[in-house]
């Protein structure tokens, strides 16, 4: 059971190394056009896309060696302007509901773009820092906008690597959430542990052990979950929400 869409999705891997070649305008228009075909709340398309291909601006956002990035904003500003023009002054567009619907809209639009891009041989990766970035000076986004996601794109310099995924049974619950046993968890994460122990060199594993890291769970928890760093990022997110005027 397969087709071109499924084959393309199965080949997904993030690409972070790009040729200098620019993405042609007709290709860009096509992938963005199919992004806009994504389902969206009330068909109001509560998002805007900022295409950044000015390398200085990308660098200001800490994005290097990437020819183009798309920032998807959860955007209640444009809809509000439309309502205002027609005399509707007090419209509740910036509620928590508006925020989450627009955020959802923005991200599925962006992911449609990612899927379309990959199907045409482009490489992509998401930049998860965008929600906490101080963007205003760079992209001039108005009130009632929040940076939901950033997709970086270009022609791949290398093939990248297809990474492992958890098995279906770890992710999927039928009808209600089934609390896993410790044995379940160990089984589901076993492949990651196997790859960690076999793909790291002996020297690297020794280095990690000297730091008190004996397995991949410890490697993740000690590197990705550093409280101070996450607190700093979270402060950026809270600032962006506050500045956006979304009431959450």
Which parts of this chain interact with ligand FMN (CB under 6 A)?
Answer: 12-14, 16, 125-129, 163
Least distance between ligand FMN and beta carbon 88 (Å): 34
Residue 88 or 158 having the CB closest to ligand FMN: 158
User: Rounded to 5 degrees, what are φ and ψ at 76?
Assistant: -95, -10
Nearer to ligand FMN, 127 or 145 (CB): 127
CB of 131 to ligand FMN, least distance (A): 9
At its nearest, how many Å lie between ligand FMN and the CB of residue 168?
16
Which parts of the chain are beta strand (E)? 47-52, 68-75, 123-126, 145-154
Residue 61: CB minimum distance to ligand FMN, A: 11
At CA 130, angle to CA 125 and CA 59, rounded to 5? 80
Of 17 and 215, the one with the shorter C-beta distance to ligand FMN is 17
Alpha carbon distances (Å) from 5 to 1, 52, 116: 11, 27, 9
Q: What does the CA dihedral 184, 190, 193, 195 come to, rounded to 10 degrees?
A: -150
Least CB distance from residue 13 to ligand FMN, whole Å? 4
CB distance 191 to 219 below 8 Å? no
Q: State which residue, 19 or 165, has the beta carbon closest to ligand FMN.
A: 165
In the bound complex, which residue of the shown chain has the CB atom lying closest to ligand FMN?
128
Asked if 248 and 146 count as a contact pair (C-beta separation under 8 A), the reply is no
As a dihedral over the C-alpha atoms of residue 193, residue 194, residue 197, residue 201, rounded to 10 degrees, the angle is -130
């Amino acid at each position: 059971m397969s087709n071109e869409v499924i084959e393309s999705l199965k080949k997904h891997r993030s690409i972070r190394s790009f040729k200098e070649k620019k993405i042609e305008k007709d290709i860009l228009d096509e992938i963005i056009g199919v992004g806009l075909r994504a389902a969206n709340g009330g068909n109001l398309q509560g998002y805007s896309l900022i295409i950044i291909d000015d390398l200085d601006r990308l660098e200001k956002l800490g994005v290097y060696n990437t020819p183009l990035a798309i920032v998807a904003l959860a955007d209640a500003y444009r809809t509000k302007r439309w309502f205002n023009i027609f005399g509707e002054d007090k419209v509740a567009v910036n509620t928590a509901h508006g925020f989450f619907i627009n955020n959802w809209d923005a991200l599925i639009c962006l992911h449609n773009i990612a899927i379309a891009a990959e199907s045409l041989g482009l490489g992509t990766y998401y930049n998860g820092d965008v929600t906490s970035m101080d963007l205003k000076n760079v992209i001039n986004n108005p009130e009632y906008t929040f940076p939901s996601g950033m997709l970086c794109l270009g022609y791949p310099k290398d093939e990248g690597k297809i990474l492992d995924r958890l098995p279906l049974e770890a992710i999927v619950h039928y009808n209600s959430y089934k609390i896993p046993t410790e044995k379940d968890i160990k089984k589901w994460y076993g492949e990651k542990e196997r790859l960690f122990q076999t793909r790291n060199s002996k020297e690297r594993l020794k280095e990690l052990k000297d730091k008190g890291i004996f397995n991949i769970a410890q490697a993740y928890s000690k590197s990705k979950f550093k409280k101070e760093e996450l607190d700093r990022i979270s402060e950026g997110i809270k600032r962006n929400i506050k500045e956006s005027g979304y009431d959450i």
